[in-house]
Amino acid sequence: PLMIHYLGVAQYGILLVIWSVTGILGIMNFGLGEATLRYVAHYLGDDDLKGVNRVFGATLTFYATVCALVSAVLLLAGPAVATWLKVPEGEYPLVGTLLRLSAAVFSLAIISRAYGSILMAMQRYDVTSRIEICQNVIRSGGYILLVLGKYGLVQLVLWDIVINLATLCTQAVI
């Protein structure tokens, strides 16, 4: 209700479309995150760090390729997709920009999931849970502050990029 009140129904609807596109793109992991988790756990159980690195390297290579393809499509087709979404004509440039930014959100999120699978393979669910809780609290708090500060949709999507980047960095360090 807070976001609808401060953004307005139309802007909130556009934001939901962008979040939906980013969410739907999540299927582009093709189940590789779960496979990575399984095989990294297997190789860790055998103390085979070369096997872990092979699996993780293959996952990152695949994800980098998928991210590059999705980003290219969103960067090039963002304005065209905006016209298909039946948003008001004056909002086409905004939606095109948001779709382009969602490429970064998607890319950071999917690569972050790969790093998260390492922690889960090590059975460090306590760490992954803390990261997810902190991520969600900070993301939601940021949304509230941005909306109350009367910032727009671009800043909300940029906040998603910042949160996903911070999560990825945290997981990589751990």
DSSP secondary structure string for all residues of 4-42: HHHH-HHHHHHHHHHHHHHHHHGGGGTTHHHHHHHHHHH
The CA-based angle 48-52-56, given to 5 degrees, is 170
Considering the entire predicted model, what is its pTM? 0.89
Q: What is the mean pLDDT of the chain?
A: 91
* Of 19-33, 98-112, 128-142, the least confident: 19-33
- Kindly tell me the burial class for residue 59, based on how many C-beta atoms sit within 10 Å of its own C-beta (0-12, 13-18, 19 or more): buried
> What is the predicted pLDDT for the residue at 29?
82
pLDDT tens for each residue of 155-172: 999 999 999 999 999 999
pLDDT band at 82 (very low <50, low <70, confident <90, very high): confident
Is the pLDDT score of 46 beyond 80?
yes
Query: Which string of b and e fits 7-25 if b means at least 16 CB within 10 Å?
Result: beeebbebbebbbebbeeb
pLDDT tens for each residue of 1-37: 889 999 999 899 999 999 998 888 888 888 888 899 9
